[in-house]
Structure 1
């Protein structure tokens, strides 16, 4: 596998992930879903960050980060507070408790989306691919991105 093949695989996996997310009550704009997921991942890795810091690390426009944070706060996935050193800045933290929405999203199975992507309803084949994805996820955690960036 080369870098291009890995990049294309990652895009396919991202699309499968998007298809497996429960969208009840959310906008049907995939880009906004991606932004929310990128922001929540960054907030979990860097609690207490400001909007500008998240934008800098993720490469998302500050406006997209602000919208994502508002959606995450509304869903109960993050909390915000004024920065005690600069009251104009807002610091974002992962919520200490999982909201019902977050629990629903985390409980969603990827099996149907994987089956659709594979073009099969063979539960053994789907299970094999899901197990391989779980193994890959154990090795390539979100911290891998930080290591790639030299953080």
Structure 2
């Protein structure tokens, strides 16, 4: 597998997950907004700077995305009580509930069986296990890596 194939695989996986999760409810989010919303979901009551460090987007880009997501009713912000200049961000209850409902709808195994019927059923558990292992390794790497300084998507 070369880097182009890896990139294509990543996009295919993201598209499969997005398609399954928004079934009946089209998403208005672009990939970067989804990445930022996902980071906030995993790290509630987090600051713009922390989100930027974890995602690699610039603070200005993260601030703009947060303003857009807040306007859509997906996020809420509040001042950090211990540091009045910092703004903390979290998903609204409605957004959290909606995401949880969408995630409960279908397992990855069901998704692969439904959308990729040409995969042999006995191979699906192995594929899912490899994906889980890769996710864990890449997540650990991302948490231990300083920001790449990437400006925007």
- Provide TM-score, normalisation by structure 2: 0.62
Structure 2 unaligned residues grouped into runs of 5+: 149-153
Q: How does 1:58-97 map to 2 (within 5 A)?
A: 58-59=56-57, 61=61, 62-71=63-72, 74=74, 79-83=76-80, 85-86=84-85, 90-93=87-90
For 1:129, the equivalent position in structure 2 comes to 127
RMSD: 3.8
For 1:48, the equivalent position in structure 2 comes to 46
Higher relative contact order (CA 8 A, sep 6+): 2
For 2:97, the equivalent position in structure 1 comes to 100
Structure 1 unaligned residues grouped into runs of 5+: none
State the secondary structure of the residue aligned to 1:92: strand
Give the total of aligned pairs: 140
- Provide TM-score, normalisation by structure 1: 0.62
Please say which of residues 109-118 and 10-19 is displaced more in the overlay: 109-118
**8 Å Cα contact 2:20-2:111 kept in structure 1:** yes
Distance verdict in 2 for CA 1:33–1:113, change over 3 Å: farther
